Structure 1
Amino acid sequence: MLARLSSRTLLALGALVATVATAGSLTYSLVLGFVPCEFCWYQRILMYPLVGVLAYAWYTEDTGIYRLVLPFCAGGVAFAAYQSYLQVVAGNTCTFGGCATIYVRPVTIPNQSFVAFVLIGALMGVLAVRAYRA
């Protein structure tokens, strides 16, 4: 299904996912008062720039941006996956703070971050495959 979408649509979807993830994390901390742990900060550092980068890439139709975005996604997936792993192994606790114990139905905040990074990575992966085939 993703392969049928235009490159510009893939960039727009990536920017949208990054924007929703950024707005969500800010809502959790600034509105709901959840204090982000150290892992959450690392994930934020990797997600927040993607909003501007992907929006600019959409505006300029720069399909080569996947080279910059994919490493950010790989790092974000790694941090989120490890934090989710700690959550399961340590019994719904996070050694770096309390965010992993907060369930926003049906998943925890680290799980939501994982999904966002995977979605953006998949969208950029389609762009990478298209560039490789061209």
Structure 2
Amino acid sequence: MGESKTSTPNYLLYFAWVVSVIATLGSLYFSEIKGYVPCELCWYQRIFMYPLAIILGIAAFENDTKLKKYVLPLSVFGGLISLYHYLVQKVPSFASIKPCVQGVPCNVQYINWLGFITIPFLALTAFTIISILMIVMFMKKSK
């Protein structure tokens, strides 16, 4: 067997894949079923999340841990966009920065559960979990 495949399943890959699938289906639920129109920053977050569902699915099926070097940049950059989007929604001084000039304003909060859980917060949580899992996989491999 090659360096990237192990004989036992890597459950971190499966968990990361499940997180990415839930995030992808959640974003589709909000836009296609609830009818929430995504803003420009939402689209950028989707651009980073949707490929993760496919890449992590293939990696989990093949038990290929080498793919973490492709997954980690996508999850980190997607997380940074989510963090910025969340700040635009929740911090008044960030709201004056206008990243979305057409369509839905980026500071619109379709949901605001418990006073702090918004759609970008949910995306940030998913990106963070995936990033942490990839880092843990990297740390386990280097030992």
TM-score, shorter chain, exceeding 0.5: yes
Q: Which amino acid aligns with 2:23?
A: A
Match of 1:27 in 2: 29
TM-aligned CA deviation for residue 7 of structure 1: 5.9
Gaps of 5+ in 1: 1-5
Unaligned runs of 5+ in 2: 1-7
Structure 1 vs Structure 2: percent identity of aligned residues? 35
Count how many residue pairs are aligned between Structure 1 and Structure 2: 128
Aligned to 1:61: 63
Q: Which TM-score applies when normalising by structure 2? A: 0.81
Is residue 102 of structure 1 aligned with residue 104 of structure 2?
no
Q: Which portions of structure 1, spanning 4 or more consecutive aligned residues, are displaced by more than 2 angstroms?
A: 89-100
One-letter code of the match for 1:82? Y
Task: Output the TM-score relative to the length of structure 1.
Answer: 0.87
RMSD: 2.1
CA distance in 1, matches of 2:71, 2:135: 10
Task: Name whichever structure is richer in helix by fraction.
Answer: 1
SS in structure 1 of the partner of residue 10 of structure 2: helix
Q: 1:7 to 1:129 in 2, by over 3 A?
A: farther
Encode CA deviations 1:50-106: one digit per residue, 9 max, x unaligned. Answer: 111111111111111110000001111110011111112238969433564122523
Asked whether the equivalents of residues 87 and 94 of structure 2 are also in contact (C-alpha less than 8 Å), the reply is no
